């Protein structure tokens, strides 16, 4: 991973855009560069831009735990930003900010990551919006931007580092490791945890300890819950079930009594309801009949309306004829008026045409007269237009020249004023410099003086901090000594508590050994196995009884099936014989039917036979059928024979009709007989098939039942064998060899009750053993805890002693540093004294000012020097400007005189052209009063055209009026004839209507009134009368139905024997008894349900208890290994391993940079370090004894080691070191620079962020962050 460029815009103090290009320019040619600038200028903002562009996080804001929203008191809460919100990097007063980084990823592609934030509508006062991120592959041009979380994942994949790894590998934590070297054990642990990210091991240790505590609490809770769920004994539960059964039987009996009483009450209530319904129906019938009687006038009115309807056609015809006559009179009058109006219009049109002719002649004459004046006016218009153009051009020229002359005059006056102002500024600056001539030496030597002041101020500040720190360190030393004494007392108390806990644990363990829990559990397991086998025996006994019952039932069913099969076989034989008889009779009947069909078909031919004549079919002269030889079924009856004899006497042959009738009757009878025999045959056949099927089914059922019987017998045999085997395994004598016997059930019940009693005894023994075992474990845990407390107390004593020694060393170092800073202050004062010796007014009080407030004195002298330099620049600038202005003055005066002369000439020309324009306008005004020529011509031509148009219109109107007058006269004659015909028709219709009304008994007014009621009124009256009649009939039907319903209810067989009062009393008594029985049932059911729930919960809790015990064993072992309440046990172990790996990487860096030194852990300590100086014969030194340069080397090596450890398989080619050089002496400073040169020689680009002034000159290439005032800074690259 390599950083190529860092860009940004409007971030914190860096206003506007800035860029730090590491791949081009001076920075590309060097491997070591410095980022310098005073405190607060914005150096760390460059790191913020780098981090937010890559990770949307920064080290400074990421470590903040304060989530408060900061802002001014009068600021809108919505515009405030969180203290740890990276959007707070946006510079105040800016609407948009951004950060951008170009880098080479682990795949050697070049990428550009971008971060943007803005306020609403890009306004400085808008609300902050959510930041966005983008990623682009510059090598392929591919845009990898997605959602912010997706983009962050892409950046981490390309870098090969997450944020924490980037912090540790690219932003070297040299400062933190410098603190790590001098911190006590606790602070060192916290620093190492924060720098290496090993806080997870502390969390794991706490979680392991807490899980063990939670599991112990859970086990105790489960034990308490098991004891809370008490269950009933078997006798108590059986008694409760019998009581429930009895209560349920009582409830059913009382419920039956209650149902009978309620049925009787319902019968009486229904009888009362039916009687009331019958009375209501009688009342409704009476009211309906009364309504029909009251509607008689309406019936009479309906009859009058229907008679009047017969006169409606005559009345309508009379009205129509009257309307037609009236319309014809109206049309005749209107036509007469139109004819008169048409005549008057014709006369008016004639007069109008004559007037239009006269007006047109006059307008033509006026048009010819106006032609010559119009031509003169047009010529004068052209002259006026030309004069206007010339006048306007002269006026514009005069205005332009006047403006130029005024501008020249203003320029001359302004130049004179500028000369006066420049002369005044030069004189004022010279006077100010003359009055403060003593500042000249101070201003000339100010750079060296400022450097001396900076050293003095910094030394004074450090000295003050060291003095304050000395007080704190002295207090810390006294506190450390007191803490050591307290730790020694705590160690003694812990030793006594450990001995007491060990004695208690040994006593509890002996008590637990006397009642071993495992023996009780083994006995309990054996008993559980015995109870399980007893239950299996009970199951076998029940299976044996079931198999025996199934065997007996199968044998009975088999015998019944065989009997039914034999009966079905007999039935089938009988059906077979009946079917054969039926088939024979059916065949005979079908033969007879065929003979009858032949006779029937030839009956018409047989009637034509004559005695002695041959048959037309067979040719025989003998006709036996003709002589009466019919079949028996066709032979005539006695009456028919006498009638035929008489007929033969007359006709000598029976008639064809009689023969056909007898043949048809015989044929139909025989056909019915055949059909009956066929139906009977089908029935016999179905009976035969059904009997055969039934016999087969019964045989099959007998076989199945036989198989079931054999199967049940086999199962019974197997069950008896299993029974004997189970008895042998149980250790019981095989006295009861038959499991289905009644005595077997009683024997099993007795054995199960004995096993349950023994189980209860074992439960109590197990509970007692468990209590003793838990007490022993608790005592052992307490003893282990006390031993751990003792170990921690001993370790705490060692830590307190180490802290006391560290505090004493710190006090000594602080005193030495105070003396060194005092020397720096004295050297700076000597240098300042040489400068202020020539500044007489300042020489007297500069020491006092410096002693009172060094910062204020430096600021005051800086202001004075700035004022001197500012006035010097103002004097030089004013003198230079005065010389330039005086040289310009002569040229400006000449241009002003020339501009004035040109302005006067242009004004005279404008006056001449204005007079010429006035003369031309006067001549034009004499024609047509100055009116526009085109308008005059248009007005005259329009008047002529209007006159011609009016003449044409008048002529057309006259012709149209003549035509309309003639047409109206013709229509008037036609309408007069129509009116006379309509009058005659009206008189005839009126006479016919009057005669018909008199015949019906009405006058015309009555007919109009009745017909005026309309169809709707007639329909309304008819609907009222029909409705009333329907209501009367419906009421009569309802009354009959309700009387019949009441009679049927009264005669019903379910009529109760009790009266209503007796039934109500019985219902109340039965309801109370039923409720009481139901309450008893509910009480018993609830008790049984509670017992079932308790048994279920107890069984589940036992399983949970076993699982919890197993889990607690695992968690106890885990907590003993790594668990602790403060997380220290596992954290210290993990940190010691991490420190070993860190030291290995750090020593590898030291071997490359400075092979003289080697870092290692102090033997017997987890986090303490020591240094091996190989140039001094492998002398071992404490890290507290290292000088400034040696401490820098050690901390830098650790930081580089952490970088290698964090980056793992990613090579980091860009490193940044923030601060760390401010406290180095010159020798240490040189040593640090040599180490950095060696570091950049390894191929890495190293950036050093510092406010040390001399660093930039030594490094060569510097990125300077310079304040510009008002909280603004600019970034520039300087090459020395």
Question: In the structure, what pLDDT confidence band is assigned to residue 237 with cuts at 50, 70 and 90?
Answer: confident
pLDDT at 97: 94
Question: What is the sign of the dihedral through the CA atoms of 12, 13, 16 and 18?
Answer: negative
How far is CA 67 from each of CA 7, 61, 72, 88, 194, rounded to the nearest angstrom? 28, 11, 16, 13, 20
Measured CA angle at 144 (ends 142, 147), to 5 deg? 155
Evaluate if residue 640 carries a pLDDT over 60.
no
Q: Taking a C-beta distance cutoff of 8 angstroms, is the pair 868, 429 a contact?
A: no
Q: What is the mean pLDDT of residues 614-634?
A: 54
Contacts of 739 (CB under 8 A, 6+ apart): 537, 540, 541, 543, 544, 545, 719, 720, 723
9 has a pLDDT exceeding 80:
yes
Residue among 99, 14, 16, 17 nearest 54 (CA):
99
Whose CA is closest to 847, among 830, 869, 870? 830
- Model pLDDT, residue 836: 66
Average pLDDT value for residue range 598-619: 60
The CA-to-CA distance between both ends of the chain, in Å, stands at 28
Per-residue pLDDT, 1253: 64
Provide the pLDDT for residue 651.
Answer: 43
Contact predicate 120/136, CB 8 Å? no
Q: Which of 46-60, 788-802, 1175-1189, 1220-1234 has the highest mean pLDDT?
A: 46-60
pLDDT recorded at residue 655: 47
Residue 717 has pLDDT above 50, yes or no: yes
DSSP secondary structure letter of residue 931: -
- The band of 18, judged by pLDDT with boundaries at 50, 70 and 90, is very high
Q: Which of the four pLDDT bands, split at 50, 70 and 90, describes residue 650?
A: very low
Question: Percentage of residues in the chain with pLDDT exceeding 90?
Answer: 5
A 10 A CB-CB count for 510 gives 11
What are the pLDDT digits (tens) for 256-274? 777 788 778 888 888 888 8
Mean pLDDT lowest among 620-629, 680-689, 1142-1151: 620-629
CB count in 10 Å sphere of residue 881: 17
What tokens were used for 463?
């000295």
What whole-number distance in Å separates Cα of residue 775 and Cα of residue 782? 10
**Cβ burial, residue 856 (10 Å; 0-12/13-18/19+):** exposed
Indicate the pLDDT class of residue 817, thresholds 50, 70 and 90. confident
Residue 1028: band (very low, low, confident or very high) from pLDDT cuts 50, 70, 90: confident
Q: How confident is the model at residue 632 (pLDDT cuts 50, 70, 90)?
A: very low
Tell me the three state secondary structure of residue 73: coil
Summarize pLDDT for 129-174 with one digit per residue, the tens: 889 999 999 999 899 988 999 999 999 999 888 887 787 777 765 5
Beta-bridged to residue 1185, according to DSSP, are: none
pLDDT digits (tens, 9 = 90+) for 276-326: 888 888 888 888 888 888 888 877 777 777 777 777 777 777 778 888 888
Give me the pLDDT at residue 653, please. Answer: 41
Residue 707: pLDDT band with limits 50, 70, 90: confident
CA distance 297 to 112: 109
Q: Find the mean pLDDT for residues 1044-1054.
A: 78
> Which has more confidence, 601 or 828?
828
Could you report the per-residue pLDDT of 890-928, keeping only the tens digit for each? Answer: 777 777 778 778 878 888 888 887 888 788 778 777 777
Model pLDDT, residue 666: 66
User: What pLDDT, on the 0 to 100 scale, is given for residue 152?
Assistant: 92
Q: Give residue for tokens 């499991």.
A: 739
**Token pair 């004179």: residue:** 416
Cα(49)–Cα(94) distance, integer angstroms: 16
- Out of 53-57, 281-285, 667-671, 1105-1109, least confident range: 667-671
- Parse the chain into domains and list their residue ranges: 234-305+1016-1092, 312-369+941-1001, 372-436+873-922, 446-518+746-848, 547-730
Query: Percent of the chain beyond pLDDT 70?
Result: 79
Please give the structure tokens belonging to residue 267: 């019968």
CA 247 – CA 1083 distance, rounded (Å): 10
Residue 5's pLDDT band, with cuts at 50, 70 and 90, is very high
Least confident of 714-718, 821-825, 863-867: 821-825
Token readout for 528 is 């559980």
- Which pLDDT does position 633 carry in this prediction? 45
- 10 Å CB burial of residue 42 (0-12, 13-18, 19+) is buried
For 820-831, b/e burial (b = at least 16 CB within 10 A) is ebeebbeebeeb
**Residue 625 predicted with pLDDT over 60:** no
Of the ranges 135-149, 778-792, 1006-1020, the best mean pLDDT one:
135-149
Please give the pLDDT value at position 628: 43
What is d(CA 933, CA 941) in angstroms, rounded to the nearest whole number?
12
Q: Report the pLDDT value the prediction gives residue 244, as an integer from 0 to 100.
A: 80
- What are the CA-CA distances from residue 292 to residues 185, 667, 700, 990, 1081 (Å)? 120, 67, 80, 41, 65
What is the number of alpha carbons within 13 Å of residue 661 lying toward its C-beta? 8
Q: Is the pLDDT assigned to residue 239 strictly greater than 80?
A: yes
pLDDT tens, position by position, 918-974: 887 787 777 777 777 788 778 888 888 888 888 888 888 888 888 887 887 888 778
* Low-confidence winner among 374-383, 505-514, 1162-1171 (lowest mean pLDDT): 505-514
Q: Average pLDDT of 832-858?
A: 66
Average pLDDT over residues 424-451: 72
Q: At 1025, is the pLDDT very low, low, confident or very high (cuts 50, 70, 90)?
A: confident
Does the structure show a pLDDT above 90 at 101?
Answer: yes
Average pLDDT estimate for 181-189: 66
The pLDDT mean for the chain works out to 76
Q: How many CB atoms lie within 10 A of CB 1204?
A: 19
Say if residues 812 and 461 touch (Cβ distance below 8 Å): no
Which token pair is 876?
A: 């030089």
* SS3 state at 101: strand
pLDDT, tens digit (0-9, with 9 covering 90-100), for 1124-1161: 887 777 777 777 777 788 788 888 877 876 788 888 88
Q: What are phi and psi of 5, to 5 degrees?
A: -160, 150
- Dist CA 666 CA 633 (whole Å): 6
Q: Which residues, other chains included, contact 1204 with Cβ-Cβ below 8 Å and sequence gap of 6+?
A: 169, 1145, 1148, 1149
Torsion of CA 708, 712, 718, 721, to 10 degrees: -150
What is the pLDDT, as a whole number, of residue 183?
A: 65
Between residues 146 and 435, the one the model is more confident about: 146
User: What is the reported pLDDT for 265?
Assistant: 81
Label residue 835 by pLDDT band (50, 70, 90): low
């Amino acid at each position: 991973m390599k950083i190529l460029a860092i860009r940004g815009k409007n971030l914190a103090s860096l206003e506007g855009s800035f860029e730090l290009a590491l791949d081009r320019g001076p920075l590309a040619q060097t491997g070591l560069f410095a980022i310098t600038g005073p405190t607060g200028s914005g150096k760390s903002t460059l790191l913020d831009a780098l981090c937010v562009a890559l990770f949307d996080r920064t080290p400074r804001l990421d470590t903040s735990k304060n989530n408060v929203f900061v802002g001014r008191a009068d600021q809108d809460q919505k515009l405030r930003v969180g203290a740890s919100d990276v959007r707070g990097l946006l510079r105040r007063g800016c609407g948009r900010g951004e950060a951008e980084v170009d880098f080479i990823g682990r795949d050697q592609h070049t990428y550009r990551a971008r971060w943007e934030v803005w306020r609403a509508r890009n306004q400085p006062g808008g609300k902050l919006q959510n930041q966005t991120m983008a990623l682009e592959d510059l090598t392929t041009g591919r845009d990898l931007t997605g959602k912010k979380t997706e983009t962050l994942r892409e950046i981490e994949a390309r870098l090969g580092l997450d944020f924490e790894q980037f912090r540790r590998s690219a932003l070297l934590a040299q400062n933190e490791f410098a603190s790590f070297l001098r911190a006590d054990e606790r602070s060192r642990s916290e620093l190492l945890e924060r720098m290496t990210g090993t806080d997870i091991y502390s969390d794991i240790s706490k979680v392991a300890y807490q899980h063990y505590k939670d599991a112990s609490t859970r086990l105790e809770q489960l034990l308490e819950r098991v004891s809370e769920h008490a269950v009933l004994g078997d006798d108590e539960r059986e008694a409760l079930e019998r009581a429930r059964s009895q209560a349920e039987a009582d409830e059913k009996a009382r419920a039956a009594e209650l149902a009978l009483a309620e049925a009787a009450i319902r019968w009486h209530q229904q009888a009362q309801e039916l009687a009331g319904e019958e009375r209501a129906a009688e009342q409704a019938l009476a009211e309906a009949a009364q309504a029909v009687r009251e509607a008689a006038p309406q019936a009479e009115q309906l009859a009058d309306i229907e008679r009047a309807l017969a006169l409606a056609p005559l009345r309508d015809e009379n009205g129509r004829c009257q309307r037609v006559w009236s319309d014809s009179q109206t049309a005749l009058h209107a036509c007469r008026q139109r004819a008169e109006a048409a005549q008057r219009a014709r006369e008016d049109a004639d007069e109008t045409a004559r007037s239009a002719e006269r007006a047109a002649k006059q307008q033509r004459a006026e048009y010819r007269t106006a032609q010559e004046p119009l031509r003169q006016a047009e010529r004068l218009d052209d002259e006026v237009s030309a004069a206007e153009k010339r006048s306007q051009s002269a006026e514009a020229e005069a205005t332009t020249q006047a403006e130029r002359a005024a501008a020249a005059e203003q320029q001359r006056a302004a130049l004179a004023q500028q000369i006066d102002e420049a002369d005044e500024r030069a004189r004022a600056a010279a006077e100010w410099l003359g009055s403060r001539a003593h500042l000249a030496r101070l201003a000339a030597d100010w750079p060296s003086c400022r450097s001396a002041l900076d050293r003095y101020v910094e030394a004074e500040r450090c000295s003050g901090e060291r003095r304050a720190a000395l007080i704190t360190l002295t207090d810390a030393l006294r506190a450390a000594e007191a803490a050591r004494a307290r730790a020694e007392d705590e160690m003694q108390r812990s030793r006594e508590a450990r001995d007491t806990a060990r004695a208690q644990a040994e006593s509890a363990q002996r008590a637990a050994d006397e009642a071993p829990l495992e023996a009780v559990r083994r006995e309990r397991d054996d008993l559980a196995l015995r109870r399980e086998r007893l239950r299996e025996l009970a199951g076998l006994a029940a299976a044996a009884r079931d198999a025996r019952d199934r065997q007996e039932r199968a044998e009975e069913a088999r015998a019944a099936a065989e009997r039914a099969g034999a009966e079905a076989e007999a039935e089938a034989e009988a059906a077979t014989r009946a079917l054969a008889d039926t088939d024979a009779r059916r065949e005979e009947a079908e033969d007879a039917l065929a003979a009858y069909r032949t006779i029937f078909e030839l009956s018409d031919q047989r009637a034509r036979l004559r005695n002695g004549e041959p048959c037309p079919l067979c040719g025989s002269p003998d006709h036996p059928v003709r002589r009466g030889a019919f079949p028996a079924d066709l032979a005539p009856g006695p009456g028919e024979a006498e009638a035929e004899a008489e007929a033969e006497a007359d006709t000598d042959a029976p008639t064809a009709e009689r023969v056909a009738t007898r043949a048809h009757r015989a044929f139909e009878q025989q056909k019915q007989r055949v059909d009956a025999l066929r139906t009977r045959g089908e029935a016999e056949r179905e009976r035969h098939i059904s009997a055969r099927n039934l016999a087969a089914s019964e045989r099959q059922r007998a076989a199945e039942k036989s198989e079931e019987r054999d199967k049940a017998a086999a199962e019974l045999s197997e069950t008896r064998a299993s029974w004997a085997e189970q008895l042998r395994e149980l250790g019981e004598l095989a006295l009861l060899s038959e499991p289905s016997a009644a005595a077997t059930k009683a024997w099993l019940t007795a054995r199960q009750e004995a096993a349950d009693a023994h189980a209860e005894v074992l439960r109590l023994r197990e509970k007692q053993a468990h209590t003793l075992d838990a007490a022993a474990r608790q005592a052992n845990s307490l003893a282990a805890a006390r031993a751990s407390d003792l170990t921690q107390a001993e370790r705490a004593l060692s830590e307190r002693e180490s802290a006391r020694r560290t505090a004493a060393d710190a006090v000594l170092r602080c005193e030495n540093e105070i003396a060194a800073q005092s020397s720096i202050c004295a050297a700076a004062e000597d240098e300042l004294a040489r400068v202020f010796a020539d500044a007489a007014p300042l020489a007297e009080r500069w020491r006092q000012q410096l002693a009172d407030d060094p910062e204020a004195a430096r600021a005051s002298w800086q202001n004075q020097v700035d004022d001197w330099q500012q006035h010097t620049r103002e004097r030089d600038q004013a003198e230079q400007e005065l010389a330039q202005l005086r040289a310009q003055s002569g040229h400006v005066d000449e241009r002003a005189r020339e501009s004035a002369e040109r302005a006067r000439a242009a004004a005279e020309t404008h006056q001449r052209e204005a007079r010429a324009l006035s003369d031309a306008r006067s001549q034009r005004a004499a024609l047509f009063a100055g009116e526009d020529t085109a308008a005059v011509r248009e007005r005259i031509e329009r008047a002529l055209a209007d006159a011609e148009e009016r003449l044409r219109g008048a002529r057309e109107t006259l012709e149209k009026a003549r035509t309309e007058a003639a047409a109206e006269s013709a229509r008037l004659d036609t309408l007069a004839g129509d009116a006379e015909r309509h009058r005659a028709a009206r008189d005839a219709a009126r006479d016919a209507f009057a005669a018909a009304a008199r015949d019906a008994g009405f006058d015309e007014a009555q007919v109009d009134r009745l017909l005026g009621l309309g169809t709707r009124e007639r329909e309304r009256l008819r609907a009222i009368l029909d409705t009333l009649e329907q209501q009367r009939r419906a009421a009569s039907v309802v009354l009959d139905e309700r009387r019949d319903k009441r009679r049927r209810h009264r005669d019903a067989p379910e009529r109760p024997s009790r009266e209503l009062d007796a039934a109500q009393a019985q219902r109340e008594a039965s309801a109370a008894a039923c409720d009481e029985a139901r309450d008893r049932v509910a009480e018993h059911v609830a008790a049984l349900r509670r017992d079932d729930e308790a048994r279920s919960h107890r069984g589940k809790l036992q399983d949970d208890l076993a699982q919890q015990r197993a889990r607690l064993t695992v968690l106890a072992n885990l907590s003993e290994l790594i668990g602790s309440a403060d997380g220290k046990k596992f954290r210290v172990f993990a940190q010691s391993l991490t420190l070993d790996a860190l030291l290995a990487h750090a020593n590898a860096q030291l071997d490359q940079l400075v092979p003289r030194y080697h870092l290692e852990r102090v033997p017997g300590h987890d986090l303490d370090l020591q240094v091996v100086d190989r140039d001094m014969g492998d002398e071992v030194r404490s890290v507290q004894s290292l000088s400034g340069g040696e401490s820098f080397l050690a901390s830098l090596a650790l930081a580089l080691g952490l970088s290698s450890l964090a980056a793992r398989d990613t090579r980091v080619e860009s490193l940044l070191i923030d601060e760390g050089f401010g406290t180095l002496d010159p020798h240490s400073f040189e040593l640090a620079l040599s180490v950095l040169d060696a570091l950049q020689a390894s191929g890495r680009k190293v950036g050093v962020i510092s406010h040390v002034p001399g660093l930039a000159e030594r490094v060569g290439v510097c990125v300077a962050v310079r304040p510009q005032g008002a909280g603004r800074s600019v970034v520039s690259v300087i090459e020395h």
